[in-house]
Structure 1
Amino acid sequence: MTIDLPNPHFTRHALIGALMLGLSTAQADAATSTIGRTWPIAEPDAMAEIEARVARAPDMAAQFGPRSTWSAMRAATLAPARATRVRTLVPFYTVEEEIRLPDGRLLYPKGFTFNPLDYVSLPQRLVIVHPRDLGWALAKARFTDFILLTAGDAIALSEKTGRPLFILEERVKERLGLTLAPVIVAQEGMKLVLTEYAPPLSMGRSARP
């Protein structure tokens, strides 16, 4: 007696086809059918949980007063720029205390001076403005730039504009030698370039950001 075996190549393709058809059918059935026992989801909805925690959070304004009185929200002040000018700065830093390795060897002595830009880079620019010039800053700033305010409520203005805004800290002002605003700080090589802008400022002026 002779038995005709199916073509192995055909059989393999047939099995794969049947398997894919079965998966498709199972998916279709799963969309319309319930198989086995079901239980309600025990975990709370994530968004509902977040909203509940926010509602239970203490009122910061009631405890510490309005944000305008918070020392952490107090920005460093700058005078308004009267003329457009460009100046450069090498942000040298002097080590105030000696720095030693874990084994006690001296790495940098006290008084050692170096340029941080020799080791790190500033990937974004700093756009520093008075609140009245915020519209100009929003038009000039690139997506990666940081906008720093010399006054005002940065949190409220961030919510209003939809753009993260920050206050100008006193240490940043001193570190960069800032005196006037609006000013854009950018790195060029091993130095910083500070471009100060004189009024009138407009979103349509020809100067490139």
Structure 2
Amino acid sequence: MKRLLLLSSAMILSLMSQAVSARDYGQQGAVFPVIETDLLSVIQNKLTTMQASGALDRANRELAARTEARVKRPPPVKGIVVASQSRSWIHDPTITVEQDLRDGKGRVIVARGTRVNPLDTVPLRQRLVFLDGDDPEQVAWAKTKTTALNAKLILVRGSPFALMKAEQRRFYFDQSGTLTTKFGVRAVPAVIEQVGRTLKVSEIAIPKAKEGGK
């Protein structure tokens, strides 16, 4: 009986403890409601304000002008200099297929480990001529050494649009130096042409014109 009383007392103390811990102590300070701003509303309000002040139209015009300028005159390819001496090398475009290539029905059309040369199916019919479009000597050299039928003129600096208008010939631009990096070109003018199943890459030093025509 005594043990039962002890257990009952323990249970009562436990319940009292829980009741005390759950007691409402009232408000201890200022309470503010949680308010989350709608992000879309903020953006819409900002655009409305910019539109009313004319700032939005100015921003659009500035963006269009920067984009047009970048298209007409792309950033020059970094690391390209004027060729001070001529040199050439052979680039083999052959690759080794790393995994089976399959058609839409799952059939293997090119097995892993096969060596493939892109020139076997897509030959380079025109030479690729890289030059600095801001260098009149390089432009003049390219005009005399190539035609629109046998070469594509690719700039690493300058405005292809301005040259097309002035020279009445199509000019391209090596965006981000993709081609010069791939073929290891570090100086211009440079020429890439097909020789058999390989590509010959040449950097060519142009003889400087003598002063006074001498």
- Tell whether the structures are fold-level matches, with TM greater than 0.5: yes
Q: Which residue of 2 aligns with 1:179?
A: 186
Q: Which runs of 4+ in 1 moved over 6 A?
A: 59-62
SS at match of 1:166: strand
Cα shift at 1:181 = 1.1
* Equivalenced residues, count: 144
Gaps of 5+ in 2: 1-59, 210-214
Q: Per residue, is there more helix in 1 or in 2? A: 2
Say whether the 8 Å CA contact 2:189–2:204 is kept in structure 1: yes
Say whether the 8 Å CA contact 1:81–1:197 is kept in structure 2: yes
**Counterpart residue identity of residue 89, structure 1:** H
Deviation per CA, 1:113-170: give whole Å up to 9, x if none: 4221122211111111112011111111123110001111111111111110010233
C-alpha RMSD of matched pairs (Å)? 3.0
Gaps of 5+ in 1: 1-58, 203-209
Say whether the 8 Å CA contact 2:73–2:159 is kept in structure 1: no
Among 134, 154, 157, the alignment partner of 1:151 is 157
SS at match of 1:76: coil
Q: Which residue of 2 aligns with 1:76?
A: 77
> How has the CA–CA distance of structure 1 residues 66 and 105 changed in structure 2, closer, same or farther, with 3 Å as cutoff?
closer
SS at match of 1:159: helix
> How has the CA–CA distance of structure 1 residues 167 and 61 changed in structure 2, closer, same or farther, with 3 Å as cutoff?
farther
SS at match of 1:135: helix
Cα shift at 1:82 = 1.7
Cα shift at 1:96 = 6.7
**Counterpart residue identity of residue 66, structure 2:** G
Question: What percentage of aligned pairs have identical amino acids?
Answer: 25
Q: Which residue of 2 aligns with 1:142?
A: 147
Cα shift at 1:103 = 0.8
SS at match of 2:104: coil
Q: Which residue of 2 aligns with 1:200?
A: 207
Indicate yes or no: 2:171 matched with 1:165. yes
Cα shift at 1:89 = 1.1
Say whether the 8 Å CA contact 2:77–2:157 is kept in structure 1: yes
Deviation per CA, 1:74-114: give whole Å up to 9, x if none: 45342221211222111233557653111112333567542
**Counterpart residue identity of residue 161, structure 1:** E
Alignment of 1:8-27 (within 5 A): none
Q: Which residue of 2 aligns with 1:88?
A: 90
SS at match of 1:136: helix
Deviation per CA, 1:40-72: give whole Å up to 9, x if none: xxxxxxxxxxxxxxxxxxx99872426443499
Cα shift at 1:173 = 2.0
Once residues 68 and 98 of structure 2 are traced to their aligned partners in structure 1, the CA distance between those partners, rounded to angstroms, is 34
Indicate yes or no: 2:189 matched with 1:188. no
Once residues 61 and 188 of structure 2 are traced to their aligned partners in structure 1, the CA distance between those partners, rounded to angstroms, is 32
Say whether the 8 Å CA contact 1:185–1:194 is kept in structure 2: yes
